[in-house]
Amino acid sequence: MTAEARALPALLERLGQAFGPQQWWPADTAFEVLVGAVLTQNTAWRNVETAIARLRERGWLSAPALVNAPVEELRECLRPSGYYNVKTRRLLAACQTWQVLGGEAGIAAMTTRAAREALLGVKGLGPESVDDVLLYGFYRPVFVVDAYTRRIFSRVGVVPADIGYDRLQAAFEAELPRDAARFNEAHALIVGLGKDFCRPRLPRCSACPLQPVCDHGRSVAGVG
């Protein structure tokens, strides 16, 4: 097996050939990406979709509407996403910062670094959530790292299992063209693989498109 076959671009190319275009993130506006990024923490996306549908039915998919919404009703809307009391507080804090920064237009006018630092100042918004917003909401070339990314590429054997967010992000950004569309598609492919194949327990190694070049997958198959 050549080093080129295990380079990050080659691994992502394998996923692209296996899964095809992903066209992710499912949102209509940058603000909706922010809402989804807050609500998707520690839950499945289908639960987030239910909560967002409830917000949309009430006309609450804007920062002013959410800030002015009755808190108890807002909690009930967010209930399907789990941890709804915590997420209500986090979402309202994110909405307040969104407004302070001038909304979508204000954030769009900021540099990527400035916008990232400002959004990271919101309690409950970590690097993954903020980078989701920057990449999918504002088309900034920042690579989103999540648990799938770390699990998949540590099992393949190209990064340490304990690698930190910043180091793993830097590794991808160094090896891929700095292009928002490319980062978008790459992250979506990783999510697809992690969700359906490279599971924490009982991974589906025999059906995984990375199995031939994956240390874990080859060990499962008895290949040295």
First to last CA, the chain: 11
Query: And the tokens for 80?
Result: 């399907």
Q: What is the pLDDT of residues 200-213, one digit of tens each?
A: 999 999 999 999 99
Q: What is the pLDDT of residues 143-174, one digit of tens each?
A: 999 999 999 999 999 999 999 999 999 999 99
What was the pLDDT predicted at 6?
78
> Taking 90 as the threshold, does the pLDDT of residue 199 lie above it?
yes
- Domain assignment present for residue 155? The answer is yes
What was the pLDDT predicted at 5?
62
Expressed as residue numbers, the domain containing 90 is 21-200
Mean pLDDT value of segment 55-73: 97
- Domain assignment present for residue 208? The answer is no
CB atoms < 10 A from the CB of 112, how many?
Answer: 14
- Domain assignment present for residue 213? The answer is no
Q: Structural domain tally of the chain?
A: 1
Q: What is the pLDDT of residues 84-141, one digit of tens each?
A: 999 999 999 999 999 999 999 999 999 999 999 999 999 999 999 999 999 999 999 9
Alpha-carbon distance of 190 to 73, in angstroms, equals 35
**CATH label of the domain that carries residue 142:** 1.10.340.30
Query: Tokens 């648990």 sit at which residue?
Result: 147
- Domain assignment present for residue 27? The answer is yes
Give this prediction's pTM: 0.92
- Domain assignment present for residue 7? The answer is no
